[in-house]
Structure 1
Amino acid sequence: MELIKEPWPWYVSGPCIAITMFLLLYFGRTFGMSSNLRTMCAIGGAGKYSEFFRFDWKSHRWNLIVVLGAVTGGFIAHFFLSNPIDMNLSAETVKDLNELGFKNAGNSLLPPELFAWENVLTLKGITILIVGGFLVGFGTRYAGGCTSGHAITGLSSLQLPSLVAVIGFFIGGLIMIHLIFPILF
């Protein structure tokens, strides 16, 4: 008998996120993936080269559990909870993606036109990764946190700067997908 694998419904996953946020706020912690990257860079010795990484990373070791949980959760979700059926995209979305060069739109979560090694290891692919990585790193530092930190921790603790940052993230995403993405692909 094959197990039917469906996404968790909102009434299960939503309260799980809310309980996690309540516990983090209760214990005086904040959530965000960029702080985990900062901790890993500090452990690796980046403090020798930048003041930003000179801090007591040992007091932030708990952040590394978040990284471990994200990697473990991604593994479990992919190999044990994923539903292998095609995604149900609208005909208009499939048509738009076909015009951009995506041949089998909706057949996989990660289209090979973007994520296959032969496409990543091209001049265009490497350039996009380097420029994108720089922009994400700069934006995260400039905004004082990443999308998950602002959208989950910042908004749940009613921080106005996080609301402004999240609005900026959405505007940036709209500009990217409607103006820049068609030029790149």
Structure 2
Amino acid sequence: MESILNPWPWYVSGPLIALIMALLLYFGKTFGMSSNLRTMCSAFGADKFADFFRFDWKAQKWNLTVVLGAIIGGYIAVNFLSNGTPTNLNTTTISELQNLGFKNAGTTLVPKEMYGLDALTSVEGLLILIIGGLLVGFGTRYAGGCTSGHAITGLSSLQKPSLIAVIGFFIGGLVMTNFILPIIFNP
């Protein structure tokens, strides 16, 4: 039973993702999380307030199963497939995170200093959430999709804009990790 509680290895999960992508390409569908937000907003009436949401959302409702699957899959993973093993981080990374004020780096998947209830109810935490959310929302629309859409669907269908977007995502992640995060969490 313990082996089922460990994360799936890349040679199992990778081919499963490839199989799903092949099926989506075969049926002429695309995958991405940010398009689901547009579909949900349109379904709940946002088309009355903005032209961006005026489209046939019913043609995209199949994609909402991705959101439902992410929610159900996350619940199953946390409650039934987690074995409590700490995240396997490099010792240098743990030391750098501790220098930034993350006390238990690597003991949980996400740091409580950023995602705990205390962080969410503080002014700084709310500002990070609001500003980060606006930047992610703007970036996804500006790039024409999110990281999952570009990196999985776009790259698998050999789209040059997706390659450029994924390179930009990695550069942005490196800048955030090495320059902006130390400024935000300077103890």
Corresponding letter in the other structure for 2:34:
S
For residue 117 of structure 1, what is the aligned residue in structure 2? 117
Partner SS state of residue 61, structure 1: helix
| Distance (whole Å) between structure 2 residues aligned to residue 151 and residue 175 of structure 1 | 19
Taking the aligned partners of 1:83 and 1:3, their CA distance within structure 2 comes to 8
CA shift at 1:3, angstroms? 3.1
1:104 corresponds to 2:104? yes
Does 1:60 find its partner at 2:46?
no
Residue 26 of structure 1 and its aligned partner are, at CA, apart by: 0.5
Matches within 5 A, 1:8-157: 8-157=8-157
Which portions of structure 1, spanning 4 or more consecutive aligned residues, are displaced by more than 2 angstroms?
A: 87-91
Letter of the 2:73 counterpart: G
SS at match of 2:2: coil
1:173 aligns with 2:173: yes
CA distance in 1, matches of 2:89, 2:60: 41
List gaps (5 residues or longer) in structure 1.
none
Matched positions, count = 184
Give TM-score scaled by structure 1 length: 0.96
- Whole-Å Cα distance in 1 between the matches of residues 90 and 66 of structure 2? 35
Q: Match for 1:104: what amino acid?
A: N
The root-mean-square deviation of aligned C-alpha atoms, in Å, is 1.0
* 1:110 positional shift: 1.8
Structure 2 unmatched ranges of 5 or more: none
Matched residue SS, 2:82: coil
CA distance in 2, matches of 1:156, 1:107: 34
How far 1:83 sits from its partner (Å)? 2.2
Give, in whole Å, the separation in 1 of the partners of 2:133 and 2:71.
19
Letter in 1 for 2:28: G
Query: Could you list the per-position Cα deviations for residues 115-147 of structure 1 after superposition, in whole angstroms to 9, with x for gaps in the alignment?
Result: 111111111111111111100110000100000
Percent identical: 65
